[in-house]
């Protein structure tokens, strides 16, 4: 047995099931604001494409290429080149399709970590737990970077010593951030890239919420954009991950990309060839269409914006909540212990949310998730509004 399996922590939703399993829910229809699973409908033109008999006949009869079909690589490159200017990626050298960011964010640590010489993997705290599991199974030690109101929910890298940097193999960043929706600026990312070039560690940027943002005129800055603007045109030490799950409401398609440093991409491709993680051909074809269309993405973004606004406005009289710059999550402070808040909300109103501590670790004596909850506004607008009204009506009991 791989001894590193013993190092894995229980997954947040397993902890939530246990917590709520011990609680009697109110007799109301359940509203889940716990999981970040998009529930806006998948775009019809993509469903139509995937339902074409000729496409499925070809796709099911073909071993898919791990590198991806040229049509998919071209579509992804066009997306990156128009969205993350001045980045100019070459579809043949700079990118690979992946089966959603989750598997790729995990696999990249297995492929590219050097646990002997570079035993530290850095990650934000709170985080997407896959980063931690990936680091542990790769035999490295997580170093958690607190993301708190004091740091504007971004990792503060100014206190890290050269000695520590020399032991870092990989750093995960999540931009826009889950669970708080904070954005790293161009300057934040360029400072990190300069450190990565100096100390030769790899930046793994999880950008899966990059298309869900508030200000239509100011989309989040991506890692490859920051690298190119710095003159790092071949994206040395940089890898950006993105997917169609949130952008296009296709979490079931399992489709995304990794793009960046061609040497790292080549090694990752080698790993993936052995691992057997090629995307089915029919999924590749549909994905190519999805990356080429922006109209459905704009519509999706507008829906999230409206839901966040309505939710925050409803609760404002009792519980003012800071709205995020990006993503579909709220990360408010709770008036009482976060686990008790989640449990009480479930028992009083049958609404589930995720206790903040399930997304964070105590490190350096502090746990930035304690007394916060994550609210995922993924449900239909009416359900989100109803949830806000229920929380409002019970807020005194939740305090």
Ligand X SMILES: Cc1ncc(COP(=O)(O)O)c(C=O)c1O
Q: Which residues bind ligand X (CB under 6 A)?
A: 36, 100-102, 128, 174, 178, 206, 208, 243, 245, 251, 256
**Among candidate residues 279, 234, 242, the one with its CA nearest the CA of residue 260:** 234
Closer by beta carbon to ligand X, 101 or else 349 = 101
CA 371 to chain centre: 22
Q: How many CB atoms lie within 10 A of CB 309?
A: 12
Closer by beta carbon to ligand X, 138 or else 244 = 244
Look at the alpha carbons of 68, 71, 74, 75 in this order and tell me if their dihedral is positive or negative: negative
Closer by beta carbon to ligand X, 315 or else 378 = 378
Enclosing H/E stretch for 142: strand 141-146
Collapsed DSSP state (helix, strand, coil) of residue 347:
helix
Closer by beta carbon to ligand X, 232 or else 243 = 243
Closer by beta carbon to ligand X, 136 or else 250 = 250
| Measured distance CA(244)–CA(172) in Å, rounded | 20
Helices 130-137/101-112 angle, 10° precision: 30
Give me the least distance between CB of 244 and ligand X, in Å please: 8
Scored b (16 or more CB within 10 A) or e, 335-349 reads eeebbebbbbbbebb
Helix, strand, coil in percent for the chain, rounding step 5 = 45, 15, 45
Give me the least distance between CB of 65 and ligand X, in Å please: 20
Closer by beta carbon to ligand X, 165 or else 329 = 329
Give me the least distance between CB of 208 and ligand X, in Å please: 4
Give me the least distance between CB of 158 and ligand X, in Å please: 24
| Measured distance CA(326)–CA(20) in Å, rounded | 29
Query: Looking up tokens 């305090």, which residue turns up?
Result: 399
Inter-residue long-range contacts of 360-365, CB under 8 Å, 24+ positions, other chains counted: 360/125, 360/126, 360/127, 360/144, 361/125, 361/132, 361/142, 361/144, 363/125, 363/144, 363/146, 364/146
Give me the least distance between CB of 130 and ligand X, in Å please: 7
Give me the least distance between CB of 269 and ligand X, in Å please: 19
Give me the least distance between CB of 206 and ligand X, in Å please: 5
Closer by beta carbon to ligand X, 378 or else 398 = 378
Q: Is 10 buried (19+), middle (13-18) or exposed (0-12) by CB count in 10 A? A: exposed
Give me the least distance between CB of 128 and ligand X, in Å please: 4
Closer by beta carbon to ligand X, 251 or else 369 = 251
Q: What are the tokens at 369?
A: 């998730």
Give me the least distance between CB of 62 and ligand X, in Å please: 23
CB–CB of 19/343 below 8 Å? Answer: yes
Closer by beta carbon to ligand X, 101 or else 237 = 101
| Measured distance CA(395)–CA(399) in Å, rounded | 6
């Amino acid at each position: 047995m791989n001894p590193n399996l013993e190092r894995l922590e229980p997954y947040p939703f397993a902890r939530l099931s246990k917590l709520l399993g011990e609680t009697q829910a109110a007799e109301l229809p359940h509203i889940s604001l716990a999981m970040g699973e998009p529930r806006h409908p998948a775009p019809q033109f993509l469903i139509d494409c995937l339902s074409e008999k000729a496409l499925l006949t070809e796709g099911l009869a073909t071993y898919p290429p791990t590198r991806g079909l040229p049509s998919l690589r071209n579509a992804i490159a066009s997306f990156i080149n128009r969205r993350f200017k001045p980045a100019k990626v070459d579809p043949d050298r700079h990118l690979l399709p992946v089966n959603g960011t989750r598997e790729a964010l995990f696999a990249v640590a297995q492929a590219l970590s050097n646990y002997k010489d570079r035993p530290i993997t850095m990650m934000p705290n709170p985080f997407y737990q896959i980063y931690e599991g990936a680091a542990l199974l790769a035999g490295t030690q997580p170093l958690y970077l607190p993301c708190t109101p004091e740091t504007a929910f971004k990792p503060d890298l100014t206190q890290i010593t050269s000695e520590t940097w020399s032991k870092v193999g990989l750093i995960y960043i999540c931009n826009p951030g889950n669970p708080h929706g904070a954005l790293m600026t161009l300057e934040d990312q360029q400072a990190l890239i300069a450190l990565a070039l100096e100390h030769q560690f790899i930046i793994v940027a999880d950008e899966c919420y990059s298309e869900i943002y508030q200000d239509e005129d100011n989309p989040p800055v991506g890692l490859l954009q920051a690298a190119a603007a710095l003159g790092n045109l071949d994206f040395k030490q940089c890898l950006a991950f993105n997917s169609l799950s949130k952008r296009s409401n296709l979490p079931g398609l399992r489709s995304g990309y990794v793009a960046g440093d061609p040497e790292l991409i080549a090694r990752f491709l080698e790993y993936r060839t052995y691992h057997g993680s090629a995307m089915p051909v029919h999924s590749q074809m549909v994905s190519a269409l999805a990356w080429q269309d922006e109209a459905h993405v704009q519509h999706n973004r507008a829906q999230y914006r409206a839901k966040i606004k309505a939710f925050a406005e409803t609760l404002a009289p009792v519980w003012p909540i800071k709205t995020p710059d990006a993503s579909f999550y709220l990360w408010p402070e709770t008036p009482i212990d976060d686990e008790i808040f989640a449990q009480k909300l479930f028992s009083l109103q049958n609404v589930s949310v995720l206790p903040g501590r399930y997304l964070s670790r105590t490190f350096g004596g502090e746990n930035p998730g304690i007394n916060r909850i994550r609210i995922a506004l993924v449900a239909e607008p009416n359900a989100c509004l109803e949830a806000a009204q229920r929380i409002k009506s019970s807020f005194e009991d939740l305090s």
